[in-house]
Structure 1
Amino acid sequence: MLIDSHCHLDRLDLSVFDGSLDAALDSARRCGVGHFLCIGVSAENAASVKALSERYADVDCSVGIHPLDLEADGGPGLDWLLHELEHPHVVAIGETGLDYHYQPEAAEQQRGSFRLHLEAARITGKPVIVHTRAARADTLALLREADLPQAGVLHCFTEDWEMARAALDLGYYISLSGIVTFRNADALRDVARQVPADRLLVETDSPYLAPMPHRGKPNLPQYVHEVATFLAMLRGESYERLVEQTGVNFRRLFPLARVAV
């Protein structure tokens, strides 16, 4: 089953579907997408992603605070996060992590928030969805410090093989988005060829980062088909095999997701 392992359904540009999320999801389903993981990024959108998971049987969600969505006071604490994680369709924590590319001045605050999410993962046993940009050393250091018994995923991976290998050694999965199709992404394609088959996920991160040939346009969950097609070709395997394997990987990483077997 083809799964979009990371999308922001509450933020999609639905203009081509006359404003209908139902139509957008139906379009993705016709492209073979059988499940969607809708990602939380703030306290404000937690209710939205949970509502979508209640509305659609093939949508599960996560809750968390994105490192670029932190409030001046750090935002909600551990008690809030643990309460949100009690919802039956919240299958993961995040996205969380570190982004020193856009907000290097907030590095200390980001690290504090990341530690809080990792503690919630330790308490609940739910996997963590990690955003990392220009923060390789600190991201890996905090993952090692947390030493979680269950795996997580470095989503929309854009770093080098050295970081990927270090994350894999810690038990984490690598999720690739449409960025791997970009003309200037040779280094990322080298990573994509080397990720073990049983640790790979595919995603859109829609509405951001549409793959070729849609680059520059709003991204849609249906375009995970293009990502998977490109990766299969890149890795020298059949599309069907890659879809099957990434589906198995998703179910292993997110065992609470309502994915049909």
Structure 2
Amino acid sequence: MLIDAHCHLDFEAFDDDREAMFERARDAGVGHFVVPGTTRKRWPAVAEVARRKDVSLSLGLHPYFMHEHQQGDLEALERMLDAHPEAVALGECGIDARFEETLEAQWKLLDAQLRIAKARGLPAVIHCVHANDKLAKRLRQLDLPVGGLVHAFAGSPEQASRFLNLGFVVGLGGATTFERAKRLQRAVRALPDDGYVLETDSPDMPLAGFQGRRNEPARVRLVCERIAELRGQSVARVAEHSTATARRLFGLS
């Protein structure tokens, strides 16, 4: 069985065919899905999708949506986590350095969420764009006891190693399927078997050959095949190890 360790199945992009999307995923061998929250407004939709037995939820405030976050959201996050003790992680939180005008506020919001994760013993699901080195430094300072997931990793072997040494794993998805992603592919080859999980970030981050089309969890099978190719391993071995790592990280039965 495969696990899509990061997919936004609450998004409106799936409103017209959500059940059919789950069917296609099951047909592709994908049996579990971790769905992270991105804004306070969307948390109820995430919780609704996570009423399914094959879906686990995470709750957080995403740096891409800084314009939507408001004063009181952190307190609301604490209350939502209290109301949903089944949440397997805190996130999606993180840093997106493409947006320089909100960068200082992003770091403050990330710090606050990581402290919540640390206090609650939850793994953190982190979005990181153009900030791997600075993020690793901050994670070292905070010393999170249960680590987490650096989602949609696109860095170097050295950057991946730093995150692994801090107790994190990296999320591998559609970016690995593009031939131009040579640095990322070197990192994929260098990872230990227990250093990564597979993900799609559906409906975003399409795979090579699917540009311009909605992404969906069934394609985690294609990600698995690509990782197997890059690592010179069987698809069965990559599926086994990535699923075991996702189960360990999120405490899935």
Deviation string, structure 1 residues 142-180 (Cα, Å, up to 9, x no partner): 211210111201000012222111111111101111110
Measured after TM superposition, the shift of residue 77 of structure 1 is 4.2
**Could you tell me whether the CA contact under 8 Å between 2:140 and 2:166 is conserved in 1?**
yes
Deviates more, 1:73-82 or 1:5-14: 73-82
Structure 1 unaligned blocks of 5 or more = none
> Within 5 A, what are the aligned runs for 1:140-219?
140-219=136-215
* Residue 39 (structure 2) pairs with residue 35 (structure 1): no
Measured after TM superposition, the shift of residue 14 of structure 1 is 4.1
Deviates more, 1:76-85 or 1:35-44: 76-85
Distance verdict in 2 for CA 1:179–1:46, change over 3 Å = same
Instruction: Choose from 30, 47, 66 the match for 1:50.
Output: 47
**Could you tell me whether the CA contact under 8 Å between 2:153 and 2:171 is conserved in 1?**
yes
> Within 5 A, what are the aligned runs for 1:55-74?
56-71=52-67
Distance verdict in 2 for CA 1:58–1:73, change over 3 Å = closer
| Matched residues, number | 252
**Could you tell me whether the CA contact under 8 Å between 1:81 and 1:120 is conserved in 2?**
no
Measured after TM superposition, the shift of residue 74 of structure 1 is 5.1
| SS of structure 2 residue aligned to 1:90 | coil
Which residue in the other structure is 2:10 paired with?
10
**Could you tell me whether the CA contact under 8 Å between 2:150 and 2:171 is conserved in 1?**
yes
Structure 2 unaligned blocks of 5 or more = none
**Partner amino acid, structure 1, of 2:135:** T
TM-score (ref. length: structure 2): 0.95
Structure 1 distance, partners of 2:23, 2:85, is 24
Measured after TM superposition, the shift of residue 138 of structure 1 is 2.4
Deviation string, structure 1 residues 28-87 (Cα, Å, up to 9, x no partner): 001000100111111111110011111x11001111010111247754343322222230
Distance verdict in 2 for CA 1:204–1:118, change over 3 Å = same
Deviation string, structure 1 residues 112-168 (Cα, Å, up to 9, x no partner): 100011111111101000111112232122211210111201000012222111111
